Amino acid sequence: MDMKTSTFERVESEVRSYSRSFPKMFDRAQGATIYDQNGRSYTDFLSGCSSLNYGHNDQDLKQALIDYVSRDGIAHGLDMFTDAKEQFLAAFERIILQPRDMDYRVQFTGPTGANAVEAALKLARKVTGRHSVVAFTNGFHGVTLGALAATGNGKHRGGAAIPLGGVARAAFDGYFGADIDTTEMLDRQLSDPSSGFDAPAAIIVETVQGEGGLNAASPEWLRRIETIARKHGALFIIDDIQAGCGRTGGFFSFEGMGLSPDIITMAKSLSGMGLPLAVTLLRPEHDIWSPAEHNGTFRGNNHAFVTARAALEKFWADEGFARKIAGNAAYLEQRLRAMAETNGLSLRGRGMMMGIDTGSGEAAAAICRACFSDGLIIETSGSHDEIVKVLAPLTIPRAQFAAGLDTLETAVRSQMDHWRIAAE
Amino acid sequence: MDMKTSTFERVESEVRSYSRSFPKMFDRAQGATIYDQNGRSYTDFLSGCSSLNYGHNDQDLKQALIDYVSRDGIAHGLDMFTDAKEQFLAAFERIILQPRDMDYRVQFTGPTGANAVEAALKLARKVTGRHSVVAFTNGFHGVTLGALAATGNGKHRGGAAIPLGGVARAAFDGYFGADIDTTEMLDRQLSDPSSGFDAPAAIIVETVQGEGGLNAASPEWLRRIETIARKHGALFIIDDIQAGCGRTGGFFSFEGMGLSPDIITMAKSLSGMGLPLAVTLLRPEHDIWSPAEHNGTFRGNNHAFVTARAALEKFWADEGFARKIAGNAAYLEQRLRAMAETNGLSLRGRGMMMGIDTGSGEAAAAICRACFSDGLIIETSGSHDEIVKVLAPLTIPRAQFAAGLDTLETAVRSQMDHWRIAAE
Amino acid sequence: MDMKTSTFERVESEVRSYSRSFPKMFDRAQGATIYDQNGRSYTDFLSGCSSLNYGHNDQDLKQALIDYVSRDGIAHGLDMFTDAKEQFLAAFERIILQPRDMDYRVQFTGPTGANAVEAALKLARKVTGRHSVVAFTNGFHGVTLGALAATGNGKHRGGAAIPLGGVARAAFDGYFGADIDTTEMLDRQLSDPSSGFDAPAAIIVETVQGEGGLNAASPEWLRRIETIARKHGALFIIDDIQAGCGRTGGFFSFEGMGLSPDIITMAKSLSGMGLPLAVTLLRPEHDIWSPAEHNGTFRGNNHAFVTARAALEKFWADEGFARKIAGNAAYLEQRLRAMAETNGLSLRGRGMMMGIDTGSGEAAAAICRACFSDGLIIETSGSHDEIVKVLAPLTIPRAQFAAGLDTLETAVRSQMDHWRIAAE
Amino acid sequence: MDMKTSTFERVESEVRSYSRSFPKMFDRAQGATIYDQNGRSYTDFLSGCSSLNYGHNDQDLKQALIDYVSRDGIAHGLDMFTDAKEQFLAAFERIILQPRDMDYRVQFTGPTGANAVEAALKLARKVTGRHSVVAFTNGFHGVTLGALAATGNGKHRGGAAIPLGGVARAAFDGYFGADIDTTEMLDRQLSDPSSGFDAPAAIIVETVQGEGGLNAASPEWLRRIETIARKHGALFIIDDIQAGCGRTGGFFSFEGMGLSPDIITMAKSLSGMGLPLAVTLLRPEHDIWSPAEHNGTFRGNNHAFVTARAALEKFWADEGFARKIAGNAAYLEQRLRAMAETNGLSLRGRGMMMGIDTGSGEAAAAICRACFSDGLIIETSGSHDEIVKVLAPLTIPRAQFAAGLDTLETAVRSQMDHWRIAAE
């Protein structure tokens, strides 16, 4: 490690993580390419865990931000009315909500996904007067105590060092195999007054579990979950933080599925350029917050409003971008399916949020290391980090996408061969 | 309300708050001045609740950001090594830690103060294997469930809609009057094995309670609290989110007091320009996190690293800024003391974090409204919002500071007269 | 209601319950017969919810108690050594533990089943350093807060009026139908580090769920649960409060199943005569209690020791009683099976703890009311109180047993006919 | 240890405690005298921790029980109407409630004090819809999880091995010295919306803290606590389990103080003969339980009803017994005051619930050991077990009382001398 990265060893907490997988000092980035301080370029198949769906430093978003900063646009205004916020809200209403016939209020929470989830769970409990929230196996919703209770990951849960309450756990789609309908199980438990499942304030679900292993719920399963929520008087919350903003095709991950969530949480790619921004979308009838009841200093990140609006206008004003995503996703699926079949592995995920289940955390780690040696940044997910997860920018040029997938293909083949030999 | 602000009424959640006190659309800001969309200027005595200690859009910070964005500097890199992060850490080590002989590791948490507090409390519980944390009356530490348990404010606590656990409450300095030493009480309770106070993982305290009413703890009281923490095996945590970054004079609010906190939380003005950034500073021996055990997508806000480093270099490389703050604080105290004495009120707070206790939330609100009519943005704090709180930029020019205080003086006099007459 | 029962209306809390189903004033009882104040006799198929397995006022137990009281035997001795306690312990060791090659320590808890469960859960958490306990759908373990968290019944849970923590819920044998092996589900969840199921301190289970609907777990299922507990480092607790003391055939409900629970809770019929007594049996290696760490004023009920010892010596010194129970159980099963088949209903339970699933709480209630009119005391169980539950004294004479079952048969037929007609 | 006590070593859990202080095998008892198996007699100044206020095996109570058992009176009837229960209720109404103009409903809980407390706290939360209960430093209310949360003792709390929630802690009368009015502190905290004290469901208090160190609250302090409860919408609960039933003079410990608790818990001496019995007395307007919402198998201990009624009729039908208690208490106070003054110690407690503060757990233990050698059973209490506590039967003959106090006096003098010499 050179002199500069030694600063991190000396001063940064041991909690740092991605810098361990990718131990280079990065300097600048453009589109799907990141450069380290020595000028070497890397293709980014991680995209800030889906926070950079439009790639790094999109020229239009970047210019909008520079213009705003240059003209002394308000950077920090608490939750006061600002021009930047108004334009974002108006664009969100016009471009996202109205065309989809969605009637939601926007709550600006502290600019982290976890904070949006905390707000959602608090509000659901306030609205219903109930305390328990149903969350799913392998779900990930953040690591602050309220959100962490809903998160399945044991390492993160252990970090709390106290018991986490207020959440009942249900099995995600397919958790017990294809033959078992886990919605029937949940309905049975909630319908049985003696099951030990308290009447829930909410059911919170990701349509595709990004951290939990690219488990994609079927539309039918999601519709049944919504039906169960309604039947039992619970709010239906979709956590769209990782799967939303185009990652699975539409702006929301559940478009076209016939779902009407009571609450939707969004963050990650919402600002378009990776700036911290999070919102909780509420059906108006649930908007019973008193002023500042859930607050936070950075709950109006005006720079993020500027880039978020620019992203909405550039990418979502018509259907061109969604078509482009669909094309990329089809290509991705074709490539991954080939890799999976060649190596006897299985495909996971949906849209531009797919990966390969290697069956082993060690194998997956080895593949990612091999990719990084060859200039590709890619990470794992799943209970045992056994899924190699492709989260390329949605805007990645086809040639670069293909080259990155070539790199992945080579790494999968060589590492899985190696792995099989070692196992024999 | 005009057409544009009606967007907020239509689309933004009822949880919005400051926009209710200051119902104008703001557009740009520079130094201590904010402009609304009609070009009217306001002096800012709120400063993003102490997030804008260096004023709005400081020219050097702004230019550093523009340069960084222009050259495609990485905006979002998860917690990977970046040049911007390295430079921030190196500057923090060189300018802040080393001259103060402080040995701390920096943990980048999700970029909200609440998230930094959540990390602090989790770590204290991990380190000690204990669950209970002592927090103080009128303390404010954020509204996510872990931090909210430590927060005193009943409205915020009620927002959780479930019981909050893991925190024992102690009385802040002076809570029961000047004659009662609340540290003796706490020591008694923690020393008594039958008191019902469990051995604590940590004691978390603000040196000046910003939201709780500008209650300033004496150095002696804080030293005794630290001594009690050590005596009972608890970590000593200073939440310096609102009082730090120069607000009370030094970079940390506790400088020169002979304190050695185990953990320090910082956010608000840390980025210098109001961009979301939060850190938890840890004594190295407590840095037992496993990688990613506490994580979060936006835990490395590179734009904020750029402006934060620029702010450290501009304001804290020598002692000039601290002297300037001291001068402003002395002037503020002189002016507020005069107002308080004239109106039979009392002074609260410390440094550039002072205010006047009007004894009534209604009176304080009326004063703030009158100020706003006269072009001054100022807010309240305290259990009943009865404190009018001056949080001017630390960099405010003396003439503008004086004019703002003139406005406040007029409002206090007229409103308190009005109030007294109404009460008779 | 006559003058005397009006005392209850005036002075006793609304929480009273069985007196609503059986609104007579009872006076004395002998064997399987209870007499009301007018001298009318009732056959008791409720047996104090299995607290009177040896019938009311067994002559030998009663005489032992009278002798003890007459000679000023110690009634209350806290947990001091007394002759009565020594004789009970010695008899328990000689008659129960040693012949079964069971090595357990006896903890005398407060004399309620709930208290024995509280002790068991506390100890499991102490031993393992873990907080979560796995309990099952429809389980009943008591209504004090620690035990109540493990209890499934929603009405009882609601009585807490605060969220109940520290328990994860799993599905009992057959809960999702005969085709789904719920042990595989539990093992999957506990093996998956990201499932959201924390590593458990214990798994607590009833072999037959008395309150939950006479659900009888198969020996195979119970063995798998024990295996899962061992695999995941959890203690295996059998709550034998209702099913033990001969109710299902042997002294313990799990005899001959090849199980070695770490902790066993007992109460109800343990004293033999219905006197309050509860114990928690611990494997010696788990007996890490410090003196008085779990205490309680009545934790040594010496009168109960006297009758409990007499019961052990009378009923369990040889195998005659177990044979008698088996004979009664076979007869019960034959009679209930006939009733079930005749009426298109199903049989539930095991041993002398069987009943008929009427499919409807109203039907079951009607049957019990009809029985009571005809001099038979019998109650319901199950999520919807839909199971008519036969809990006759194990010692009931065959003729009285047959007559009681005749009464039940008549009631089932007439009420189910009535019910079917009403439903058509 | 002889062969018989070795049974305990072999088979009883390490949790046993009093048998460690008094390692003899006891056999029978009468009045204030206990006999061991070798026929040696001991005077009992422990009285089952106040469960034997009328002495051991009172002849009338004992005879009533023998008669009841002999005539096959119902021993166990769940909560059905029985003659024994009716007579107890009627006597309680006639002898206790009506003459004191008290209007309460009687809830029969599981027959432990902890269970009565659990019921009280659950009901207070149900009635108010609030979750937090205020309990006091050094309070003892039982060790099941709900009651344990209200108990101050750290060893007992630690036994839970999980965090205990739902209770806020306040300081008992005199906790911070005679000069500090702890009711003002509590009122301040509950009146301050930002104190971190949630609006309480109840305030639960013992008038004399039996386990906590014989701290006796003044009537004024108790009245202020009741006033605070009313002011803040909380129920006022008196836990009279140890101090009630004559121990401090009247049937209730708070008689003549002008208090009207919403809920009163009773157990210990209620049955008169040490048999398990506990009740929760409720103001009728709070009796919102649904049937069986709080239940328990032994919630109607009919043997205890018989002896409890006999005790009420024998001791409380007129004022003679109260006068006798007053006489004994005056004598006790005179003797203890002399011992305290002679040895430079202080007196604690009230009525027949007084003791001497030795200032050291070791000294107090040595005194108790010395007493036991001389045939006196006496125990300690307090945060450090530093109080030697006299809990003689209220019925103890004066000569035996005097002889026991002589023994104590000798032990105090010799041990305190020894202690002082050792300390020099």
Q: What is the pLDDT of residues C219-235, one digit of tens each?
A: 999 999 999 999 999 99
Contacts of C149 in chain D (CB under 8 A): 145
- Annotate D85-107 with b (16+ C-beta within 10 A) or e (fewer): bbbbbbbbbebbbeeeebebbbb
Residues from C in contact with B at Cβ < 8 Å: 162-163
- Annotate D350-360 with b (16+ C-beta within 10 A) or e (fewer): bbbbbbbbbbe
pLDDT tens-digit readout, A331-360: 999 999 999 999 999 999 999 999 999 999
Phi, psi (rounded to 5 degrees) for D209: -85, 100
Residue B1 has pLDDT above 60, yes or no: no
Mean pLDDT of C347-365: 97
Strand residues in C128-234 grouped as ranges (E): 132-136, 167-170, 200-205, 208-209, 215-216
Residues from B in contact with D at Cβ < 8 Å: 131-132, 135-139, 151-155, 157, 163-169, 171, 175-176, 180, 184-185, 188-189, 192-199, 212-213, 382-384
Percent of residues, chain D, with pLDDT higher than 90: 96
| pLDDT band (50, 70, 90) for residue B2 | low
Specify the pLDDT at position D2.
Answer: 61
How far are the Cα atoms of B151, B238, C416, D115, D149 from residue D135, in angstroms, in the given order? 21, 29, 53, 17, 9
| pLDDT band (50, 70, 90) for residue C300 | confident
| pLDDT band (50, 70, 90) for residue D243 | very high
Chain D residue with minimum CA distance to A164: D163
Mean pLDDT of A218-229: 98
Nearest to A15 among B4, B165, B289 (CB): B289
Specify the pLDDT at position A408.
Answer: 98
DSSP state of C284: G
**Interior angle at CA C304, CA C298 and CA C305, nearest 5:** 100
3-class secondary-structure state, position D329: helix
Specify the pLDDT at position A421.
Answer: 78
Mean pLDDT of D110-139: 98
pLDDT tens-digit readout, D34-68: 999 999 999 999 999 999 999 999 999 999 999 99
Average pLDDT over chain C reads 97
Residue C1 has pLDDT above 60, yes or no: no
| pLDDT band (50, 70, 90) for residue C64 | very high
Average pLDDT over chain D reads 97
What is d(CA C200, CA C193) in angstroms, rounded to the nearest whole number?
Answer: 12
Residues from A in contact with D at Cβ < 8 Å: 162-163
Which of C104, C143, C380, C389 to substitute to test the interface with D, most D CBs within 10 Å?
C143
CB B155 within 8 A of CB A293: yes
Mean pLDDT of A126-150: 98
Phi, psi (rounded to 5 degrees) for B333: -65, -40
pLDDT tens-digit readout, B202-243: 999 999 999 999 999 999 999 999 999 999 999 999 999 999
Mean pLDDT of C339-365: 96
Specify the pLDDT at position D3.
Answer: 58
Which of D175, D194, D197, D381 to substitute to test the interface with B, most B CBs within 10 Å?
D194
Specify the pLDDT at position C2.
Answer: 62
Specify the pLDDT at position D420.
Answer: 77
Higher pLDDT, D3 or D310: D310
Contacts of B153 in chain D (CB under 8 A): 193-194
| pLDDT band (50, 70, 90) for residue A420 | confident
Average pLDDT over chain A reads 97
CB B417 within 8 A of CB B347: no
Specify the pLDDT at position C5.
Answer: 73
Chains that touch A (3 or more CB pairs under 8 A): B, C, D
Partner-chain contact B295 A146, CB within 8 Å: no
Specify the pLDDT at position B422.
Answer: 74
pLDDT tens-digit readout, D297-323: 999 899 999 999 999 999 999 999 999
Domains of chain B listed by start with CATH number: 3-58+320-423 (3.90.1150.10), 61-316 (3.40.640.10)
pLDDT tens-digit readout, B167-191: 999 999 999 999 999 999 999 999 9
Contacts of B163 in chain C (CB under 8 A): 162-163
Residue D1 has pLDDT above 60, yes or no: no
Specify the pLDDT at position D164.
Answer: 96
Specify the pLDDT at position B233.
Answer: 98
pLDDT tens-digit readout, B129-156: 999 999 999 999 999 999 999 999 999 9
Specify the pLDDT at position B424.
Answer: 67
Specify the pLDDT at position A300.
Answer: 87
Residue B3 has pLDDT above 70, yes or no: no
**Residue found by looking up tokens 């948490």 in the block:** B109
Mean pLDDT of D344-367: 97
Measured in residues, chain D has a length of 424
What is d(CA B295, CA A210) in angstroms, rounded to the nearest whole number?
Answer: 15
Partner-chain contact A155 C193, CB within 8 Å: yes
Residues from D in contact with B at Cβ < 8 Å: 131-132, 135-139, 151-155, 157, 163-169, 171, 175-176, 180, 184-185, 188-189, 192-199, 212-213, 382-384
Phi, psi (rounded to 5 degrees) for D42: -130, 140
| pLDDT band (50, 70, 90) for residue C419 | confident
Specify the pLDDT at position B108.
Answer: 98
Residue A112 has pLDDT above 90, yes or no: yes
| pLDDT band (50, 70, 90) for residue B420 | confident
Residues from D in contact with A at Cβ < 8 Å: 162-163
What is d(CA C269, CA C48) in angstroms, rounded to the nearest whole number?
Answer: 9
CB D284 within 8 A of CB D105: yes
Note whether ipTM > 0.90 here: yes
Specify the pLDDT at position A3.
Answer: 58
| pLDDT band (50, 70, 90) for residue A2 | low
3-class secondary-structure state, position C32: coil
How far are the Cα atoms of A103, D94, D320, D368 from residue D317, in angstroms, in the given order? 72, 9, 9, 36
Partner-chain contact C290 D155, CB within 8 Å: yes
CB A179 within 8 A of CB A145: no
Partner-chain contact B51 A166, CB within 8 Å: no
* Residues 6+ positions from D87 with CB-CB distance below 8 Å: D305, D306, D309
d(CA D398, nearest CA chain B) in Å: 35
Contacts of C267 in chain D (CB under 8 A): 297-298
| pLDDT band (50, 70, 90) for residue B13 | very high
**Residue found by looking up tokens 């076209």 in the block:** A256
Average pLDDT over chain B reads 97
- Structural element, H or E, at residue B338: helix B320-342
Cβ neighbourhood burial of C287 (10 Å; 0-12, 13-18, 19+): middle
